[in-house]
Chains A and B, each alone.
Chain A
Amino acid sequence: MQARLVAKDIACRRGERLLFRGFSLAADPGGAVHVTGANGIGKSSLLRILAGLLRPFTGTVEREGALGLVDERLVLDTNLPLARALAFWEDIDGCRDPGRALEVLQLGPLMDVPVRYLSTGQKKRATLARLINRNCPIWLLDEPLNGLDSQAQKAFEALIALHCQGGGIAVVASHQPIALPAPQTLDLAEYAA
């Protein structure tokens, strides 16, 4: 099955405030989308709408293919060593080869460290490892470069390129520049209500 992500005429309301309206997006296999815009303009809400976690005020989202979301939350049990915290999601996702992600993101030496002792960048790398182990065609990334050092940023940009080459879709919401393969850049400010 080919992965596909199409959003039509999305409007998002949070509380009494209309954040944006008329936003459309279409991503085919191999497509990368960079959603830009200032803080608070609704990038995170947009990703949650695309993920199906939030109902859009108007508009529709069509998804084909499994979907992985990385946002500012860690979603790993902070009291457990990293290996066991990641193992829970590997078991849920039925991941057979967790080693590759750990190698690319250089998490190997940290596997015995309780998650709460990891630095900001290390935690971010751990959440990205969870995403890669999920082995899903659609990636939704909310500020994925936050907290990463320049080396890890490059490594992750290369991972996104590889993912898109393999027919995956990546939607990245970020206020900072990120190297994506032939990205479609959408400025959310143009749709602000």
Chain B
Amino acid sequence: MIGVLLRRDLGLLLPGGRGGGGVLPLLFFLAVAMLYPFAVGPDAQLLARTGGGVIWVAALLAAILPLEKLVAGDLEAGVFDQLHLRGVSEELAMAVRLLAHWLAFAPLLLLATLPAAALLGLTAETTRTVLLGLLAGTPGLAAVGLAVAALTATLRGGAALAGLMVIPLAVPILIFGAGALARPDPGALLLAGAISLGLCALAPFAAGAAIRASREG
């Protein structure tokens, strides 16, 4: 059952999948890394010092882009209703979707971080910290995104609102994930990972409750 759901969700969300637009967040992410040196000038030292933070902000904003199609389409089509009749709880459907969402967006984002780091002239050490931070932080970003996408799925203009709602909720991940760049201390990364996992545990319940509530509307 879980395998069948995961296969369909991945087919929907992966780049080149049926949902369409899967590559867009990646291009957006790379575009930010490319534009930043144009905007602040070719000061290699400045770029190397601030580049890690820029990658984090770009990753956070790129995580917002796929939210529009994450839940709303299936909710409107009645997929979750039919799954409910088959004894698949909304929480399970959302947990599977969270996994699919992370798989569809995080590994490619981590890969794209390498060219982005090269564009910004980051040192190998900084690049490693950014990669570890993103590995710890992206599950949390995906979880926040899923919960917010489910909450706003039935609203008109929900996608724009979802973007605004994700940003404050993602701030803790950003503070600890990007904070690891300033101090050579693994504690910040561990905290970012802990927040991430906590959010992953909560998100399916929040998103599932949002879907059930939307039926009464």
A80 to B11, CA, bound (A): 10
Binding stretch for chain A, among B38-46, B75-83, B182-190 = B75-83
**A51 on the B face (CB < 8 A):** yes
Which residue of A51, A55, A77, A88 contacts B85 across the interface (Cβ within 8 Å)?
Answer: A51
Q: A53-B85, A69-B85, A89-B82 are in contact. List 13 more A-B contacts (CB 8 A).
A: A51-B81, A52-B84, A53-B81, A53-B215, A66-B86, A67-B85, A68-B85, A73-B81, A75-B78, A75-B81, A77-B12, A92-B4, A92-B88
Q: Within the assembled complex, what's the spacing in Å between the Cα atoms of A48 and B217? A: 13
Q: Is the CB of A92 within 8 A of B215?
A: no
Contact yes or no, A73 B83, CB < 8 A: no
Q: Are A80 and B81 in contact (CB under 8 A)?
A: no
Which residues 69-90 in A have Cβ within 8 Å of B in the complex? 69, 71, 73-75, 77, 79-80, 88-89
Known: A53-B215, A80-B18. A69 touches B4 (CB 8 A): no
Q: How far is the CA of A51 from the CA of B1 in the complex (A)?
A: 21
Q: In chain B, residues 163-184, which have Cβ atoms closer than 8 Å to a Cβ of chain A?
A: none
Q: When each residue 44-74 of chain A gets 1 if its CB lies under 8 Å from chain B and 0 otherwise, what string results? A: 0000100111110000000000111101011
Is residue B125 within 8 Å, beta carbon to beta carbon, of the partner chain? no
Question: Is B4's CB under 8 angstroms from A91's CB?
Answer: yes
Task: Find the residue from A55, A73, A74 having the highest chain B CB count within 10 A.
Answer: A73
Residues of B within 8 A of A (CB): 1, 4-5, 8, 12, 18, 77-79, 81-86, 88, 215-216
Contact of A79 among B18, B82, B84 (CB under 8 A): B18
Q: Shortest distance in angstroms between A49's beta carbon and chain B's nearest beta carbon?
A: 11
Is there an interface contact between B83 and A92, defined as CB atoms closer than 8 Å? yes
Residue pairs across A and B with Cβ atoms less than 8 A apart, 11 shown, are A52-B84, A53-B81, A53-B85, A69-B85, A75-B82, A79-B18, A91-B4, A92-B1, A92-B5, A92-B86, A92-B88
Given A54-B216, A79-B18, A88-B4, the answer on whether A74 and B82 have CB atoms closer than 8 Å is no
CA distance A92 to B85 in the complex (A): 11
Contact call B4/A73, Cβ cutoff below 8 A: no
Pair A71/B4 contact, Cβ less than 8 Å = no
Question: Which of chain A's residues 103-137 have a Cβ closer than 8 Å to chain B?
Answer: 134
> With the chains together, A15 CA to B31 CA distance in Å?
46
Please, which residue of chain A has its CB at the minimum distance from the CB of B4? A91
A93 on the B face (CB < 8 A): yes
Nearest residue, chain B, Cβ from A94 = B1
| Complex interface: chain A residues within 8 A of B4 (CB) | 88, 91-92
Bound complex: CA of A77 vs CA of B19, how far in Å?
A: 10
Residues of A within 8 Å of B81, CB to CB, are 51, 53, 69, 73, 75
Candidate in B12, B81, B84 with the most chain A CB atoms within 10 angstroms: B81
B8–A69 CB distance below 8 A: no
- CB <8 Å contact, B77 and A93: no
With A55-B216, A68-B85 as contacts: A73 and B77 at CB distance below 8 Å: yes
**B84, B86, B88: which has the most chain A beta carbons within 10 Å?**
B86
- Contact A53–B84 (Cβ < 8 Å): yes
- Closest Cβ neighbor of A71 among chain B residues: B78
B78 partner residues in chain A, CB cutoff 8 A: 71, 73, 75
> A13: shortest Cβ distance to chain B, in Å?
10
User: Which residues does chain B contribute within 8 Å of A74, judged by CB atoms?
Assistant: 77
